[in-house]
Amino acid sequence: MSYATQLTVPLLHAGYGETFLVLWILLSIGRILGGGRMEASSVFAMLASFWALMAFALSMGAVVGYLSTVLYLSPLLHDLAAYLLLASVTCLAAAEPDAGRHLRDCAWWIVAIANVGLAIQVGLGWGWISQSGVNPWYWDRFCGWSDNPNQLALYCAVFGPLALHLATTSDSRWGRLLGLCALILPFYVGRLTKSDTYLYTTIVTGLMFLGLRARTWLKTGDGNASLSRQIGLLFIIGLLPLGMAMSPYILTGFDSAEAFAKSLTKDKGGQATEDTVELRLYLWAEAVDKGLRSGSLGLGPGPHMERPPVGDQQFLPRPFEAHNTFLDLYSQGGFVAVLALVWIIISSAVSAWRAKFDALLALLGSIVIFSIPHLIIRHPIVWFVLIICLFAESSRTTAATRISSDRFYVGKRARFGVER
């Protein structure tokens, strides 16, 4: 429900996602105060260090912004509340005992609830059901319960690879089947949003997953030279000469391929796509200029871009965001905040790589790609993915240790029975 920004809790005037997260924080703190156990894992130390760096960088940026420019109080307090909420959720989740297993169980619940929620939103969009106070369409783009289509597209870009990760790492046939079935609805809704970023992210993520899967398949042969493995290896080796031989035909059909790619984008690569590109380039240049003028210290939480002249027809607010996670963070907390974010992303990627979770690594790549034209650091689902990636290596090690222990005790009991 974190993406249900059109739905608010009565009397509180807050979204259901934020309300549930605050309730979970209070319950978690209550469990700890009541004598519940905490686990100071390496992931907890990493997240605590990250948020300490972020607090330092944003504080320095706020001082620079107060001395050099005009700060808008409402967006500043909004970002402060968002960062405080995310820091509390991530650190408390990392401090839970056996956090890796709990996160995986939570991932199954997220995928299940997401598919139910998306099914209801599709029903709203096509008029099968009605709900007061909700407009599921943003012109011709589907937004469901979300405030804008890009926000819903981000969650679809997360739900699909997350379901694929659960399917590829499940031990049961039913788990694999349910995980694969959970891919269908997020992909369909993602295409309804007509988000160009979702389209590119899905293509790159799919190619990344196939490449990682081929690597894993070739490295897990245990020295067995089976016929299928030899055929697959020969096919991979032959891709380069095959591509060179096919290049004349590919270049001949480049125009039709380009037309096909444009047909998948909103407005079929027309004026809407050109306006979006022009708007992004203007905002990115403005963000770099703001960051450099602050001495790479930032200007504090909140947006700092002026209203772009190329987007007046979109009724944009003032101030405006750069719509790039790294550049927005650079304008807020400077170089230190950007380095902290890069560090936590690389650490997540290394953990998923060592655990050999191909779909999880592709999911992380999906988030990174989506962060280039959008500001997504404040979305809780993004941090859930980062945490589950950070715990991937330890979860894999714990599972392997449990399997080894179970085999040891089973063998010991068998020998004991034989001796008796």
The span from the CA of 79 to the CA of 76, in Å, is: 5
- Residue 117, both tokens: 């929620």
Tell the residue number behind the tokens 């063998």, with chain if given: 411
Tell the residue number behind the tokens 């909700």, with chain if given: 134
Provide the domain count of the chain.
1
Residue 308 forms part of a structural domain? yes
Q: Which residues contact 53 (CB under 8 A, 6 or more apart)?
A: 336, 337, 340
DSSP labels, 109-127: HHHHHHHHHHHHHHHHHTT
The span from the CA of 18 to the CA of 179, in Å, is: 27
Residue 203 forms part of a structural domain? yes
Amino acid at 265: T
Count CB atoms within 10 A of the CB of residue 79: 18
What are the backbone angles phi and psi of residue 317, rounded to the nearest 5°? -80, 175
- Residue 298, both tokens: 């930032």
Domain around 14: 8-219+284-392
Residue 328 forms part of a structural domain? yes
Residue 247: exposed, middle, or buried by beta-carbon count in 10 A (0-12, 13-18, 19+)? exposed
| Strands (DSSP E) found in 12-65 | 14-15
- Residue 50, both tokens: 């990250």
The span from the CA of 337 to the CA of 331, in Å, is: 9
Residue 298 forms part of a structural domain? yes
Contact 28, 92 (CB under 8 A): yes
Specify the pLDDT at position 258: 46
Q: Tell me which residues of the chain have a pLDDT lower than 50.
A: 1, 249-251, 253-254, 256-258, 260-264, 313, 401-410, 412-414, 416, 418-420
Tell me 267's DSSP state: G
Q: What is the pLDDT of residues 312-325, one digit of tens each?
A: 545 556 677 888 99
CA 242, chain centre distance (Å): 35
Q: Which residues contact 158 (CB under 8 A, 6 or more apart)?
A: 363, 366, 367, 381, 382, 385
**Element (H or E) spanning 137, and its range?**
strand 137-138
Residue 408 forms part of a structural domain? no
